[in-house]
A and B are shown apart, each in its own frame.
Chain A
């Protein structure tokens, strides 16, 4: 479970560039729920994820994971309970290392880092198991450098790395936005598959209204650092992409010319 209580964050405080990124956000995500987050640029979506991941510290408020106050934990400590995926397919992996070495690094996130050789037969068989489930044939390329993989393959690998150990929270920061449509669909399918199988508490930020409604069981919309829409269950089931767009336009107070972009 994630609980965000009264979180405020202002960038460039006291300067001409001052901007209020998060404005008293209160959000509780029960264990195992998959929440999608939408909102325009600057609405605070990525800031929210960075607050949960520990890359940013709130000015006020608390972040709790399973009742544990992690607000003051640095990123590397928080990573024991929070896994995340980045938008840039290069951000989540070490390109010069092999697939197996990347998996070894990810494995140590939730289990003690080994003093001995990192690549053991056990790790190899674990990697084969998990990668084979993707159906991309990556399990046959364990010793290939990650630099040889396509964007979609890298994000699929990142997904496996993020969910390798027992993780309480998974943060997905527009993790399909940099991929071509085919690869994006593939990675979303794998995301659903892995998230459903492990019942991990997940928050996905997306620019796509379709993705926001088709995946997960709850959708929230952020606007100017506040939660302005929070729908789930039957209410959410009745909402169409059109409805969401209407609401989006009303909130933004502008008629977005690039609706098509958002509807993809």
Chain B
């Protein structure tokens, strides 16, 4: 694998690490299977791209992507809590609606960002070599987001959110408004996803309406794979595992594609991902042989 491909895998892994953090919050912490990310990821990209093309600066555009993503999360929470639609179905409805909304936002299927100033250009101005600018910025953003999530989950409010997911009856008996926790959790998770979409589009040089397809499976591969490979009971350990899982996933895919021996092409990525997730789900947690190898190596 070339350095170019390796750096590319790291960058993509970091960008999707934000989605993985969000999906960790919904799937693992809240026990709410949220597929909204399929729509909120391209939504973040669409909102940021449209704003940047209109002359808004890249940081503001990224912030707007966070807000847009959070609103998408709120829509799913509304469908689930107020209209009493099954959680997973509520999120699918939001995601499918967002496809049309994203087209409306962009006014066309894609927007090129090659001629606008992105957040990575600002980093270059700080003296970082152009080639490494996305890597440096993404690493900083992901570390900050991870630490914020860690901090949040240790606050009184964060504990309440964890209880709402782990034992809703106990949570209610202890004064926790479980519905409100779902609202907050989905907003944060999809805000992170919106930011991820914006940063990914800026890196790619384009926002595309179809860039959300399969995002949820990639995020799950990161969360499930990461926490299976690096089991931890602490929140900080688990969020780290999700981010590293996202990076490892991209590196593994890049390796698989670059080794001619397997005969895989770029179009095989989805089936490889699906197989990886299926294996990780089939052998959950500590029964997976790999973590044992990790422990034996200590």
A201 nearest CB across to chain B (Å): 17
Cα of A119 to Cα of B171 in the assembled complex, Å: 17
Q: Which residues of A contact B178 (CB under 8 A)?
A: 76
CB pair A94–B158 under 8 Å, yes or no, is no
Q: Are B174 and A114 in touch, CB under 8 angstroms?
A: no
Of chain A, the residue at the smallest CB distance from B169 is A91
Question: B residues within 8 A CB of A80?
Answer: 175
- B158 touches which of A74, A84, A109, A118 (Cβ 8 Å): A118
- B233 contacts which chain A residues (CB < 8 A)? 96, 145
Give the distance in Å from the alpha carbon of A83 to the alpha carbon of B175 in the complex.
Answer: 10
Interface of A is mostly: loop
- Could you say which of A11-19, A40-48, A98-106, A207-215 contacts chain B? A98-106
Closest to B151 in A: A117
Q: Is B66 an interface residue (CB 8 A)?
A: no
Within 8 A of A (CB), among B91-132: none
Report whether A114 and B172 are in contact in the complex, using a CB–CB cutoff of 8 Å.
Answer: no
B177 in the interface, Cβ–Cβ < 8 Å? yes
Collect the chain B residues with CB atoms within 8 Å of residue A77's CB.
Answer: 175
B175 touches A76 (CB 8 A): yes
The CA-CA distance from A145 to B173 in the complex, in Å, is 20
What A residues does B172 contact at CB under 8 A? 74-76, 79
Chain A CB within 10 Å — which of B156, B173, B176 has the most? B173
Which B residue's beta carbon lies closest to that of A96? Answer: B166
> A-facing mask of B156-175, CB < 8 A → 1, else 0?
11111011001101111111
The answer to the question of B267 belonging to the interface, with a C-beta cut-off of 8 Å to chain A, is no
Is the Cβ of A116 less than 8 Å from the Cβ of B160?
A: no
Verify if A115 is at the interface (C-beta below 8 Å from B). Answer: yes
How many chain B residues sit at the interface, stated as a range, is: 20 to 34
Interface assignment of B154: CB less than 8 Å from any CB of chain A: yes
Counting chain A CB atoms within 10 Å of each CB, the highest count among B155, B156, B160, B163 belongs to: B156
- Do the beta carbons of B167 and A94 come within 8 Å of each other? yes
Interface residues of A in 61-76 (CB under 8 A from B): 74-76
B170 touches A94 (CB 8 A): yes
Tell me, in angstroms, the Cα distance from A115 to B177 when the chains sit together: 16
Q: A97 in the interface, Cβ–Cβ < 8 Å?
A: yes
Which residues of A are found within 8 Å of B176, using beta-carbon distances?
76, 105
User: In the complex the two chains form, is A118's CB within 8 Å of B177's CB?
Assistant: no
Given contacts A76-B172, A145-B233, contact A94 B157 (CB under 8 A): no
B residues near A116, Cβ cutoff 8 Å: 155-156
A108 at interface, CB cutoff 8 A: yes
Taking a contact as CB atoms under 8 Å apart, the answer to whether B173 and A108 are in contact is no
Interchain nearest-CB distance for B81 vs A (Å):
13
Does A93 touch B at the CB level, under 8 Å?
A: yes
Cα distance, A118 to B162, chains bound together (Å) = 12
C-alpha gap A83/B155 in the complex (Å): 23
CB distance from A225 to the nearest CB of B (A): 24
Query: Is A113's CB within 8 Å of the partner chain B?
Result: yes
* Interface, chain B (partner A; CB < 8 A): 154-160, 162-163, 166-167, 169-178, 233
Q: List 27 A-B contacts (CB under 8 A).
A: A74-B177, A75-B172, A76-B171, A76-B172, A76-B176, A79-B174, A80-B175, A86-B169, A91-B169, A93-B167, A94-B162, A95-B166, A96-B166, A104-B156, A104-B159, A105-B160, A105-B174, A108-B160, A109-B174, A110-B175, A113-B160, A113-B175, A114-B156, A115-B157, A118-B154, A118-B156, A118-B159
Known: A75-B173, A83-B173, A118-B155. 5 other contacts (CB 8 A): A92-B173, A108-B174, A113-B175, A114-B156, A119-B154
5 A-B pairs with the lowest CB-CB distances in the bound complex, closest first = A114-B156, A113-B156, A75-B172, A79-B175, A109-B175
